[in-house]
Amino acid sequence: MNITTIFFDVDNTLVDHSLAEELAINKLREVYFPKQTREEFKDIWTINTRKNWLLFEAGLLTFEQQRIQRIISVWQAFGVDLAQSKAKVVSNQYLALYEHSWKLFPSVSATLRTLVKMKLPIGIITNGSKSQQVAKLIKMGIYPLFRKDLIVVSNAVGYTKPQIEIFLHAQHCAKTNPENILFVGDNITQDIEPARSINWNTLLVDYKRENQGRHLIHDFKEVLKFIV
């Protein structure tokens, strides 16, 4: 690969979003629904997170509204009607717990710093709120490593992965050819397939070792093997 620019997904690629979310929602369960099992509460949370996220992606809810509506929907699933004002309080509690649990995967910081030393521009392509995604990078101490014009977040550019347009926007920002771009992500549908469809190089991050193939990694530091 003749790589001149590398883009990374954030959640479950750089930052362990799934663990942070699981720890946060279990704390909510312990406070508000202690009689519910951990698995049942997680399942209801996941379903309603997805439902309201799709409404956000469709432009029917703002980012803040989908957060609040998620709480209302989850509480309704357990037979509790929650006012908007109370749902906002609970949503903020969840957010604080979630942010407190953010953690980088092993080798992420050291590998990104190595890439910067190699003078390879690195950027981000991620769905979500730009303020929250940038806050993750700042809290994890890696924000200064990324080229600021290469931080591409869905709600700031108007396109959402797996839409091809968000990748084309990033390519335009990088001012380079598709065959010289590497995209590293954890989701085949959201990350790998759309990037490959416009002739980018890709690496699938597979921390759980659920897949097999040439262009995947099980440890983040293996990114370096594909560019040197």
Domains in the chain, CATH or no CATH each: 5-15+105-226 (3.40.50.1000), 17-100 (1.10.150.240)
Counting residues of the chain whose pLDDT is more than 70, the rounded percentage is: 99
Question: What's the rounded mean pLDDT across residues 88-105?
Answer: 97
Q: Using CA atoms, how far apart are residues 130 and 138, in angstroms rounded to an integer?
A: 12
Q: Is the pLDDT of residue 197 over 70?
A: yes
Instruction: Identify the three-state secondary structure at position 70.
Output: helix
Q: Using CA atoms, how far apart are residues 195 and 180, in angstroms rounded to an integer?
A: 12
| pLDDT score at 179 | 96
Q: SS in 3 state form for 73-141?
A: HHHHHCCCCCCHHHHHHHHHHHHHHHHHCCCECCCHHHHHHHHHHCCCCEEEEECCCHHHHHHHHHHCC
| pLDDT score at 214 | 79
CB-based contact 14:108 (threshold 8 Å): yes
Q: For residue 223, which of 203, 200, 201, 198 has the smallest C-alpha distance?
A: 203
Place of tokens 């924000």: 143
| pLDDT score at 1 | 67
| pLDDT score at 41 | 97
Q: What is the dihedral of CA 85, 45, 100, 149, to 10 degrees?
A: -90
